C-alpha cells in the first residue's frame, strides 16, 4: 500500500472522533489534585488534575460550573466527571468536565449528585409541576416486579382500603442491567400518549421493595427519570425504605416511603369515606331543617305584613251580604207573583177551552170530514153530520 501523507487537522479530527466513540472515555469519572487553575473572564475554568503517576488537562465551561466554582481550587482533591476529547487547535488531550465533587465521595454517590444537578437544572424536580393525586381513583396503575413483595403489599392495601378501584399492573425488571429500560417501558405502556385519556389509569405507583444502594440504582437512571417526568398521569414513587431517596422519588409527583404507604396515599379508606358521607348527610339535614324554619318565619312575617297593609274589607262584606239578601227576597217575591199570574192565565184558558164548554152541556157539530158547522144554514137536509159531547160523539143526518 502506498504511503499517504495526511494533514494535521485530519489526524486530530480522527483522534477526536475516536475518543468520542469510546464508551469509557465519553462517560468518565477522574480523581486527582487541582493544579494550574485559571479562571477566565468568560467564566470558564481551566485546570489540571494530577496524581503521582500523571496529569490531565481539564476545561470546565461556565454553563456547567455554575454552583460548583467554589469546589475547584489549587490543591483541592476532586473527582470530576466528563468526556475525554482533543482540543484540535493545539492537539491537546483534555477532559471536558461537566460536574465535580470533593474527593472522598464515592463514584456512585458522585454520579447520583451529577444527575440530580442536571435534572434539577432542566426543571424535572420543579415543585410547581407536581400534580395532586385524585381523591377517588377508579383505576390504579402499578409498575413493579411480578415476583417481589411490593405487588403483594400494594394489592393487599388497595383491596382493604378502596376495593372500588381496578388495578392495572405492568410487570418490570427492577434490578440489574436491564432494569432501567424495563421500568421506563412499563411506565410508558401503562399510560401511552397516543391513547385516549379515559384509557389511562387515574394514578400510577412505580417502585420496589428495599435493598442495597446497588439494588435501587435502576431508579436513578435517566430512562426511568425521563419516563416518570413524561407520564401524563400523577405518579407516586415508592422505592426501597423510608431512608432511601432516588431520583425517581424526586421527579415523581409524590414520594412514598414504602410500597404499602404508596397504596395508602392513592386510595382513600372506604370506612372513613362512609363516615364522612354520614356526617355530611347529618349536617345537610340540620342545615335543611334550619333553612325551612327560617323560610317559614320569613313567610309568616311577610303574610302578617301583607295583612296589615290590605284595606279593611269587613264593611264591604256586610254591604255585599245585605245586597245579596235583598236580591234573594226580590227574586222570591217576583217568582211567586209570576207563578200566580201564570196559574190565573191557565185557569182562564181552561175555562175558555172547548172541553170546558162541552162539560157545561154544550155539543160541537161538524161535518163528516170534521169541518165545524157554526150555523144551521151551513147544512142541508140529508147531510151527514157528527155531534160531539164531553163524553163522546155520534153520527147523525139532517132530516129537516
pLDDT in tens, 194-203: 888 889 999 9
pLDDT digits over 125-152, tens only?
999 999 999 999 999 999 999 988 899 9
Cell of 185: 417501558
Comparing 251 with 332, the larger pLDDT belongs to: 251
Which CATH class, in words, describes the domain spanning 138-268?
Answer: alpha beta
Whole-number Å distance between alpha carbons of 339 and 341: 5
Which of residues 311 and 63 earns the better pLDDT score?
63
How far is it, in rounded angstroms, from Cα 134 to Cα 205? 13
Phi, psi of 219 (to 5 degrees): -85, 5
pLDDT tens readout for residues 264-313: 999 999 888 889 888 889 899 899 989 998 998 899 888 888 877 777 77
Given a contact cutoff of 8 angstroms between Cβ atoms, the answer to whether 69 and 45 are in contact is: yes
Asked whether the predicted pLDDT for residue 350 surpasses 90, the reply is no
Span 78-93, mean pLDDT?
90
Determine how many CB atoms are found less than 10 A away from the CB of residue 376: 8
CA–CA gap between residue 114 and residue 386 (Å, rounded)? 149
Distances (CA, A) of 232 to 154, 222, 237, 295: 22, 18, 15, 49
Mean pLDDT along residues 366-375: 81
100-113 pLDDT, tens digit per residue, is 888 877 777 888 88
pLDDT of residue 179: 93
**Residue 167 pLDDT more than 60?**
yes
Cell, residue 81? 466527571
C-alpha cell at 304: 302578617
pLDDT at res. 125: 94
Question: Are the CB atoms for 81 and 109 separated by under 8 Å?
Answer: no
Q: What is the pLDDT of residue 268?
A: 93
Nearest alpha carbon to residue 116 among 245, 274, 306: 245
Q: Is the pLDDT reported for residue 66 higher than 70?
A: yes
pLDDT value of position 222: 92
Mean pLDDT of 153-163: 93
- Identify the weakest region by mean pLDDT among 103-112, 178-187, 227-236: 103-112
pLDDT tens-digit map of 28-48: 889 899 999 999 999 999 999
Q: Give which of 45, 86, 95, 40 is closest to 67, Cα–Cα.
A: 45
* 204 vs 395: CA distance, rounded Å: 126
Q: Are 190 and 156 in contact (CB under 8 A)?
A: no
Give the per-residue pLDDT at 2: 62
313-332: average pLDDT? 84
Return the domain boundaries, the chain: 8-105, 138-268, 357-397
Average pLDDT, the chain: 88
Predicted local distance difference test score (pLDDT) of residue 69: 87
The set of residues, in sequence order, having a beta carbon less than 8 Å from that of 278 and lying 6+ positions away, is: none
Per-residue pLDDT at 328 exceeds 90 = no
pLDDT of residue 355: 72
- Name the CATH topology of 8-105: OB fold (Dihydrolipoamide Acetyltransferase, E2P) (2.40.50)
pLDDT digits (tens, 9 = 90+) for 210-219: 777 778 889 9
H or E element that contains 170: strand 166-171
Confidence at residue 188, expressed as pLDDT on a 0 to 100 scale: 95
Enter the pTM of the model.
Answer: 0.59
Q: What angle do CA 229, 234, 239 make, to 5 degrees?
A: 70
The predicted structure's pLDDT at residue 233: 96
pLDDT for position 1: 56
Amino acid at each position: 500500500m502506498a504511503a499517504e501523507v495526511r494533514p494535521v487537522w485530519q489526524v486530530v479530527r480522527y483522534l477526536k472522533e475516536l475518543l468520542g466513540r469510546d464508551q469509557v472515555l465519553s462517560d468518565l469519572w477522574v480523581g486527582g489534585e487541582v493544579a494550574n487553575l485559571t479562571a477566565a473572564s468568560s467564566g470558564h475554568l481551566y485546570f489540571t488534575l494530577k496524581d503521582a503517576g500523571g496529569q490531565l488537562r481539564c476545561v470546565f465551561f461556565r454553563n456547567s460550573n455554575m454552583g460548583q466554582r467554589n469546589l475547584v481550587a489549587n490543591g483541592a482533591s476532586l473527582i470530576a466527571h466528563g468526556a475525554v476529547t482533543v482540543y484540535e487547535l493545539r492537539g491537546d488531550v483534555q477532559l471536558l468536565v461537566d460536574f465535580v465533587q470533593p474527593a472522598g465521595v464515592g463514584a456512585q454517590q458522585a454520579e447520583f449528585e451529577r444527575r440530580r444537578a442536571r435534572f434539577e437544572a432542566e426543571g424535572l424536580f420543579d415543585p410547581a409541576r407536581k400534580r395532586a393525586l385524585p381523591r377517588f381513583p377508579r383505576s390504579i396503575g402499578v409498575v413493579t416486579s411480578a415476583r417481589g413483595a411490593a405487588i403483594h403489599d400494594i394489592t393487599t392495601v388497595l383491596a382493604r382500603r378502596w376495593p372500588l378501584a381496578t388495578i392495572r399492573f405492568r410487570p418490570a425488571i427492577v434490578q440489574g442491567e436491564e432494569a432501567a429500560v424495563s421500568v421506563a417501558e412499563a411506565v410508558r405502556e401503562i399510560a401511552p400518549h397516543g391513547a385516549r385519556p379515559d384509557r389511562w389509569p387515574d394514578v400510577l405507583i412505580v417502585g420496589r421493595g428495599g435493598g442495597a444502594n446497588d439494588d435501587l440504582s435502576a431508579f436513578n437512571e435517566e430512562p426511568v427519570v425521563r419516563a416518570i417526568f413524561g407520564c401524563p398521569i400523577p405518579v407516586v414513587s415508592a422505592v426501597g425504605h423510608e431512608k432511601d431517596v432516588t431520583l425517581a422519588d424526586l421527579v415523581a409527583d409524590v414520594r412514598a416511603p414504602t410500597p404499602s404507604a404508596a397504596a395508602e396515599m392513592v386510595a382513600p379508606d372506604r370506612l372513613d369515606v362512609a363516615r364522612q358521607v354520614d356526617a355530611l348527610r347529618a349536617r345537610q339535614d340540620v342545615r335543611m331543617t334550619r333553612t325551612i324554619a327560617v323560610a317559614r318565619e320569613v313567610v309568616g312575617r311577610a303574610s302578617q305584613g301583607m295583612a296589615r297593609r290590605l284595606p279593611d274589607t269587613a264593611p264591604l262584606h256586610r254591604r255585599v251580604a245585605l245586597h245579596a239578601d235583598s236580591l234573594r227576597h226580590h227574586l222570591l217575591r217576583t217568582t211567586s207573583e209570576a207563578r200566580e199570574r201564570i196559574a190565573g192565565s191557565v185557569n182562564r184558558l181552561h175555562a175558555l177551552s172547548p172541553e170546558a164548554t162541552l162539560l157545561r152541556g154544550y155539543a160541537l157539530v161538524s161535518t163528516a170530514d170534521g169541518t165545524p158547522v157554526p150555523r144551521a144554514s151551513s147544512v142541508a137536509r140529508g147531510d151527514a153530520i157528527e155531534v160531539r159531547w164531553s163524553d163522546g160523539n155520534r153520527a147523525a143526518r139532517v132530516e129537516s
